[in-house]
Structure 1
Amino acid sequence: MSFSDTGFSGKTAVITGAAGGMGLNIALDLVRAGAYVVLIDIKEPEIDLTAQGPGQAVMAKGDITDDVFINQVMNAAFTRTGRLDYLVNAAGVLWFDQDRSTEEVNLDAWDRIISINLKSMVITCRHALPLMRKTGGGAMVHVASVQAMRGDDKPQVAYQASKAGIISLSKTVAMEGAADGIRSNSLLPGPTVSPMQDRWVKDPAIQKATEKVIPLGRAGTTQDMTNATLFLLSDHASYITGTELVVDGGLLARP
């Protein structure tokens, strides 16, 4: 999908969770559309970022729950380009071994999952908002999950609670930024082939069983999620804020 007509060229974006999966896919598509993109993660991506052009990709390696680190990264991007146009919070963890039912969840894991998945969003938004105001506006997309909208008989309660929190916080940020032309929306992916679902690689039968209940008959891809994210960031979505875009192959529409 080409986004050459969406105005990303010359813009500045910050993407968390960008070393792999949908975060990296989003970052690379923005770079290919001409944006200056800062990728934040605790690890380096396994590709050559210098070969992605025509925009520029810059890696900022660090902890997204570190307020001082995020402030430095945001301000460095703004100092380098004179603007901050886009923020995508794509970082997230799903720990099947520790995050289980309400009675079984490891409470230390609960705290860490909430910190990575939700607190990090507070940190990035609090530093992005003033810089976007100086830019004259901007757009944010925060990756939640369809699991925030449904129960599960085999739940990961911390993951689901954190993703529900993202939706609520995004609406608040949308209200805080609207007068300054700053939009905030949530993306709700359904089951998606990505590093987070590496259990599917180990046991393809799990993926096949999941796909049987998806009306479109397949799991999503990181490109599906990237296409939706770039739409929400783009000027084509200039009248969309404070809402959620579900990208799940029809899963939530099932009776």
Structure 2
Amino acid sequence: MSFSGKTAIITGAAGGMGLNIGLDLADQGANVVLMDINPATINLEAHSHKNLICFEQGDVTHSEFVKDAMDRAFQRTGRIDYLVNAAGVLWFDKDRSTEETDLDAWDRIMEINLKSMIITCRHVFPYMRKTGTGSMVHIASIQAMRGDDKPQVAYQASKAGIISLSKTVALEGAKDGIRSNSILPGPTLSPMQERWIENPEIQRMTENVIPLARAGTTQDISNATLFLLSDKASYITGTELVVDGGLLARP
């Protein structure tokens, strides 16, 4: 998988999956623009490929910020080849059942998890068309595929929206050689699961029902993302890759 000289935009990249994906792409020679409303959780200046990494701090639900950041990326590198939408929030305290969920929280979760995706996709399309190729990966969740007796309804609905929107984006981009796919992670060790640090028993209980008997890692998600972005997946578009240790396969 060669990414040398290509340019990638990654949202939700201050830490966790987004940062892991961004650093792996930089390690493979890509010019990487990391976007997040929060500052980076590592010292990017100390990274061995710091010349390939740019950090744009801002709100990816704001269309002007995203467009301006992409304009700068294109001016610096002359191309944009990849987009990874990894921005997302999971608020256990505010996002609960249908009757309990805070509706203001519902609106904000939808903005961060789903609205940000349509903003990034609409702004990246023109740049990808210039090069006649492009690949997008959007981070959804296996929670989009099932109900839950301890639900986070806004999170689950927003992730289901990502899957649907990705399919439409794939059809819109196909004539220009632009692909779009989504990844559905299962339980994954990342900053989003801080509750596991506070209560490791929750993690152990979760892992007990995963057929491969472990939680996923951000590296697992990065490996899958780089495959879908790469030319090795050149005939794959409009579909989902489940990365969950076999959890969805359980009866």
Instruction: Tell me which interval the TM-score lies in, with the shorter structure as reference length.
Output: over 0.9
* Contact 1:28/1:52 (<8 A) preserved: no
1:193 and 2:184 are equivalent in the alignment: no
Alignment match, 1:209: 205
Query: Which one-letter code corresponds to 1:191 in the other structure?
Result: P
TM-score, structure 2 normalization: 0.98
Alignment match, 1:121: 117
Q: Among residues 25, 31, 52, which one is paired with 1:36 in the alignment?
A: 31
Alignment match, 1:3: none
Alignment match, 1:77: 73
SS at match of 1:10: coil
Q: Which runs of 5+ in 2 are unaligned?
A: none
Residue 44 of structure 1: how far off its partner (Å) = 1.6
Q: Which runs of 5+ in 1 are unaligned?
A: 1-5
Q: Which stretches of structure 1, 4 residues or more, deviate above 6 A after TM superposition?
A: none
Alignment match, 1:92: 88
* Contact 1:174/1:183 (<8 A) preserved: yes
Alignment match, 1:25: 20
Residue 186 of structure 1: how far off its partner (Å) = 0.2
1:159-238 equivalences under 5 Å are 159-238=155-234
Aligned residues: 250
- Tell me how far apart the structure 2 counterparts of residues 45 and 206 of structure 1 sit (CA, whole Å): 28
SS at match of 1:99: coil
* Contact 1:9/1:55 (<8 A) preserved: no
* Contact 2:185/2:243 (<8 A) preserved: yes
TM-score, structure 1 normalization: 0.97
Query: Which one-letter code corresponds to 2:143 in the other structure?
Result: Q
RMSD (Å), alpha carbons = 0.8
SS at match of 1:198: helix
Alignment match, 2:242: 246
Query: Which one-letter code corresponds to 1:160 in the other structure?
Result: Q
Per-residue Cα deviation, 1:35-62 (whole angstroms, up to 9, x for no partner): 1000000122132223231861100000
1:56 and 2:52 are equivalent in the alignment: yes
SS at match of 2:238: coil
- Tell me how far apart the structure 1 counterparts of residues 50 and 235 of structure 2 sit (CA, whole Å): 28
